[in-house]
Every structure is written in C-alpha cells, then in structure tokens.
Chain A
Amino acid sequence: MTNEEKRRILVVDDEPDMTLLFKMALESDDSFTVCTFNDPLIALSNFKAGLYDLIILDIKMPKMDGFDLYQEIKKIDSQVKICFLTASEMYYEEFRKEAYCSLDRDMFLRKPIENKDLLEKINMIIRSN
C-alpha cells in the first residue's frame, strides 16, 4: 500500500513513550500512517483541515487539555473523526458530564489497551460513517 492510499492518523499525547508506542502499534497495520505530537499547542498550530482521517487525543496534557484541543480542531475541520485515549479516571468521569455530552461516547478509549484491541477499535472507527 502506498503512502497516499494509507489512512492518516494523528496522535497527540504528552508522554513520548505513548506516542512512540501508538505509532509503532498502529503502523504495524500496513493501512495506517501515524504522525505524533507531544505538545498539544504545536499539534494545533500544525493542524490543517483534511490532513487526517482520525485523531487520537490524550486528555491530561499540559498547556491544553484534550477536550479543549478537540474543540479547537473541530473549528478547523468539523468533519474529522476524533477519539480520546486516557488513563485518567477523573477525565473519564468529566467526559460523561453535561459539558461534554455532545462528544461521541463511542470515541472514548481507556488505557491500558492491548495493541490488537486498539487496532480493532481504530479500524472500526475509521470505517464507520
């Protein structure tokens, strides 16, 4: 599969090990190509509409949390699919609150997640309409 044919995924997580892991894990599936950022602000300033098929956001990050980054990205590209991946129980609770009730609940993934489950989920999300 050429790079042009691959699905493009953006991963934003402040932990370098996590972005490294998700890049390797997702790219083990030949149909994905992954771009990563550890700084949400740099990720946002580099973001352009139509660039990605899916964005995976950590929530607990310095400078800007995942929810805020979600809102900013949606302003630029309202169509892009975004899912959250967090280890934080509190953010999971927060996500369920009224303020974020418009966010798609199926797009919420929790760490730790096995690579095969992650791939399965991501494939499902990307293929869904």
Chain B
Amino acid sequence: MPISETAAGITEVLYGGENTANRLLHVFSRAMKSWDACGDSTSPSVCMGYEPIKKAYLELTKRQIKIRFITEINRSNLSYCKELMKISELRHLDGVKGNFGICDKEEYLAAPTIMETQPAPQLIYSNIKEVIEQQQYVFDSFWSRSISSEQKIREIEEGVVLGSTELVLVPLRIQELFIDLVKSAKQEILLILPTTNAFLREYKLGIIQSLKQESVSEHNINVRILTPTNDHIEEIIKDITSTATVDEQKKENENFVIRRIDLANEIAVSTVTIAVSDRKISLVIEKKDDTKEYFMDAVGLATYSTSKPTVSSYVSIFENLWAQTELYHRLKVSNQQIALANEQLKIHDRMQKQFINVAAHELKTPTQGILGFSDLLKRYPEKREEITEAICRNATRLQRLINDILDVTKIESQNLRLNKEQLNLNTLISGVVEDHGEKVNEVGKSIVKILVSFEQGTNNNKNPIFVEADKFRLTQVISNLLHNAIKFTLKGHITISTEKTDSDAIIRVKDTGSGIDPEIYPRLFSKFASKSFQGTGLGLFISKSIVEAHGGKIWVENNKNENGVTFIFTLPLK
C-alpha cells in the first residue's frame, strides 16, 4: 500500500510475511551491484533460517552482488552468522536496533520488527534518493564503528566478553569506580600513581590501605604499585607495611610490592593515575588540579574500560614502567657502586701518594743524618762518640723503616709466616721493657717511667702466662705499642699489664699521653695513619696483622677520668 508517490519516487509500507518476503525477493532479483544490510541479532536467522530468503541471498552471491551485513553477533545467533559470513562481509556492532537494507544505493527496505526465521510482518520500501542517501550514511557510519565478525566470534568462542569503554565525568562516580575496582579484584591489582600528591590523596581515600589489606587477605591478591615517593610517603609505606604476624609479613612481601618512580627519570613518568584490576578492568584518571588535598577536588575525567585491547594496553604500560623502574634502580645502584669504587681508587691513590711522601721523608731524614755526620767524623775527631751515636740513631731509624716496609709487603702478599713457640708472655714483656729502660721522650726531653704490672699470682716466675706465639713478632708488637706510648707521652707514665681469662691472655699498654687525634681514630689500624711528625703510620697496621695472625684481637680505648689511651690486645691461650 503506497503511502506516498511523487516524481522523486515512492515510499510504501507492506504488511504480511508473504508480501514483505516477495518484495525483498523482488528487490534482490533486480540487484546489480550491492546489498548493504543492517539488522538486530535476530536478523541473521531471518536471512539464513527462512528458506526463500536464504535462497535469494545465495542467488545474489552467484550473481557476484557484493553483500555487506552488520549485526550484533552473540552466542545464540552464532551458527546463522557463520553461514552469513560465507556469503557476505559480516561485521559486528553492539546493540544494533531495527533492520534495514539498501540495494544498489537505489532501493531502501526497513523492517521495524522481526521474529526468528520468519519474514518480517511489516516492511517499509522507498526508492526516494534523499531517504536512501540518509540511510546509506547511517549504514556507512555503523560500518566504520563495527568490528570484524571473525574477532567477535573468536571472543565468543574463547569465552571473552567484549568490553566497553566509558567516559566518566562525575568525580563521585570516578571515586566509586576506583573503590569498586580495588574491592572487586580477585587476583591482581596494578596501580600507577603519577605524583606524590596523588599517592597522598589515594591514601586519604583509603585505597592504599585497602590494597595492602587485599594483598594479605585470603584472596592472595597480588598488588603492585608504582609511585614517586618522598620522606612523608616513605613513612606511610613503612607504617602500612609493618604487619603483626610473620605469616602476614611473608604474604605481604610476596603480594604487596611498591616500586619507586624516580621523577628525575623522565621516561618513567606517568601523568595519569592508572588502575588495572585482574587485567580485565582499567580505570584511567586524569587529574585536574594536583595541588588539591582530596581526590574529589583533584580529579578531572576518567575512562573506565572493560575492553580487552584497552586494558591490555594499560597492563603493558604498567609492565613496561615496572621493568624500567627496576632497570633504572639497578642502573642507579651500579652507578653508585662505580662512584664508590672510583672514590676508593681515589683514596687508594691519595694513600699511595701519602705513603710516597711519608716514606720519602722518613728515608731522607736519617739518610741526611748518616751522610752529614759521617762527613763530620773526619772533621771533628774529638766528638767521635757523640757523632757515632747520632749515626747509629739514624741508621737504626732507617733500618726500622725498611723493616716496616718489608713487613707491610709480606702482610699484603699474605706471606707473613709465624714461627710459633711456647713462651712465657710475662718474661717476654719484662725483656722488652728492660730494653726500652727509662726512655727519654725526645721531644719533651722528659723522662717517662714504664711500669710493669702483672696480674696477681701470674707474676713472671711464680705463675707464668704461656702462649703459643712468634717471639720475634710478639716482641715487635709490644715494642711498637711502647714506642708509640713513649712518643706521645710527655709526662706521666706508661703501664704495661697482663691478665688471663679462661681462653685468652690480655695485654694492656696504657699511657698518660696526648690521646689519639679524632681524625686518625677511625683508621688508626690502617696503613699510613699518622699525624705525628715522625713515623710512617705503619706500626699499628703491622701490629694488628701480627695479633690477628696469632688469632687475637687488638683495639684501643680512651682512658677513663685521665689523659691518654690504652691499647689492648689478646692472644688465645690454646
């Protein structure tokens, strides 16, 4: 029944399945080039499930008419769609309503309602150019938004639900979505926070705490967070990660991981908050004003997506940043190590220079003495004794230095060998002290008394302390400690004492001297640690090596309530 007929063409409405089917077949029979159809999810069953129409479609294919078809492919029309795919270019579009088709861009057919495998009860026909152009435009728009049927069918068959992407403009809604996303996760949550303020806002909102809670809950949800931090945030992280039980802590260590984004590393900076739950839902939140304290004030718009390609993209962004942060961290650590090594090299270099300087000074001074005094011997025969003594002093000093340098070389090349024997420590000490006698401090010209105090009952003869030691080396240690004590003690006295515990002999050399320069203190037992104007700073390094080679320990203590220091070393008794 025509409803309008003009010079431009006709538009009519047909009723009854038979009439509508006949009109469709009639239009098909005249088709020359193309048939563009768009229909709801029922339409494939009408095309492929109602025999006369199916036949007409097959006929179109035989005549090489190009068929394009848009429908909503779902599980229930899958088999019809597959058939339709064979004869047409089929694409999927979510939520298609109504049914229409355009033939050769000249004739338009539309069915408002249809039923499964039945011809439409009602059909609108038009060949008016304007109507057709308008409908062709609608079809083309749908076509460009649709996705391929293969992809959709694969998604249906593999059980993937094609998601959607939604733009959310209302801050309250964004906040709700964010909280829901965190609470609804079953396996994994990934979160990127772009700024320290974003972290603080999310913390105020309780998101960070919830994430931590989820990670240790029975769901075992894996939470990974990427965030820039500052001291305040580090405090918060420390606070929320300190958990009560060992079990929780174990879980937390595995499931709740925060990596720091270094904002100076510009490649690893995100400008939006990205949250991904179970690799199925993503929420990307743009900030409007990062200075705001509360989430609702700071948030701009957000995109909430369940679309697999979109969510996968954010997962991939996250994973890349995660890996990059790790790499950056490693790079930073290795840079620090290089800087440290470099610093150590510099220190080593400085020490070497220092050694050369000290050694040169210490070699040249006695050499000057020997050289100069030997020459004077001829000139002043009457002062022979005085000059010979001076030569001897300088020669001894030179010998001591040479021995020290040789000892250090042995120690460093691990060639310090001990000739151990059973010896009485107290006898050895008495001997060393006797050799030193009442020593004149050359600087102060004062006399420093050396007192010897053996533990009661362990005196020299009655109750000796026997140790297994290298006599020569042990003498060297005691002699060195005494020598140092004398050098730095201008007045007062030096006390050397021994005592015995169950396992060790303890030897103390106590002076009333000037004490140890605080600058030297931390490296007192390392090489070249000397602030004095005589000496190489090798003595204590050698002493420490000797004591340790015997299995003992050496250290120093400031004297309580009086000047000076006490050097203490132990030797094992067995």
Query: Is B533 a contact partner of A61 (Cβ separation < 8 A)?
Result: yes
Q: Between A and B, how many residue pairs show CB distances below 8 Å?
A: 71
Give the residue of A87, A114, A115 whose beta carbon is less than 8 angstroms from that of B361: A87
| Of B353, B364, B390, B442, the contact of A21 (CB 8 Å cutoff) | B390
Partner of B376, one of A87, A110, A111, A115: A115
Residue of B nearest to A16 (CB): B442
State whether A28 and B376 are in contact (beta carbons under 8 Å apart), knowing that A14-B533, A60-B533 are contacts in the complex.
yes
- Residues of chain A within 8 A (CB-CB) of B367 are 111-112
- The answer, yes or no, to whether A20 is at the interface (CB within 8 Å) is yes
Q: Are A25 and B376 in contact (CB under 8 A)?
A: yes
Residue of B nearest to A86 (CB): B361
Question: Would you call B394 an interface residue if the criterion is a C-beta within 8 Å of the partner chain's C-beta atoms?
Answer: yes
Alpha-carbon separation in the docked complex, A28 to B367 (Å): 20
A24 touches B380 (CB 8 A): yes
Does B523 have its Cβ within 8 Å of any Cβ on chain A? no
The complex places the Cα of A111 from the Cα of B394 at a distance, in Å, of: 14
Tell whether A88 is near chain B: CB-to-CB under 8 Å: yes
**What are the residues of chain A within 8 A of B357 when measuring CB–CB?**
88-90
Q: Does A35 contact B (CB under 8 A)?
A: no
B438-457 residues with Cβ-Cβ distance < 8 A to A are 442-443
Known A20-B390, A21-B368, A89-B356; contact A60-B361, beta-carbon cutoff 8 A: yes
Residues of A within 8 A of B356 (CB): 89
Does any Cβ of A come within 8 Å of B30's Cβ?
A: no
In the complex, chain A residues 1-22 whose Cβ is within 8 Å of any chain B Cβ: 14-18, 20-22
Smallest beta-carbon distance A17→chain B, Å: 5
Distance (whole angstroms) from the CB of B356 to the closest CB of chain A: 7
Which B residues touch A90, using CB under 8 A? 353, 357
Say how far A63's CB is from chain B's closest CB, in angstroms.
9
Interface check A51, CB cutoff 8 A: no
Is A50 engaged at the interface, CB distance under 8 Å to the other chain?
no
* A25 / chain B contacts, CB cutoff of 8 Å: 372, 375-376
Asked if A111 and B364 sit within 8 Å, CB to CB, the answer is yes
B379 touches A28 (CB 8 A): yes
Q: A115 and B534 in contact (CB under 8 A), knowing A88-B360, A88-B361?
A: no
Q: Which of B368, B375, B443 contacts A18 (CB under 8 A)?
A: B368
* Contact indicator B360/A21 (Cβ below 8 Å): no
A21 to B146, alpha carbons, bound, how many Å? 106
Contact present for A18 and B376 (CB under 8 Å): no
B393 at the interface (CB under 8 A from A): yes
CB distance from A73 to the nearest CB of B (A): 20
* Nearest CB in chain A to that of B366: its residue: A17
Binding site for B on A (CB under 8 A): 14-18, 20-22, 24-25, 28, 38, 60-62, 87-90, 110-116
The 9 lowest CB-CB distance pairs between A and B, nearest first, are: A87-B364, A112-B368, A90-B357, A21-B372, A111-B368, A112-B367, A87-B361, A115-B375, A88-B361
B residues neighboring A (CB under 8 Å): 353, 356-357, 360-361, 364-365, 367-369, 371-373, 375-376, 379-380, 383, 387, 390, 393-394, 442-443, 532-534
Apart from A18-B368, A24-B383, A114-B371: 18 A-B pairs, beta carbons within 8 A = A15-B365, A17-B369, A17-B393, A17-B394, A24-B379, A87-B360, A87-B361, A87-B364, A88-B360, A88-B361, A89-B356, A90-B357, A111-B365, A111-B368, A112-B368, A112-B372, A113-B368, A114-B372
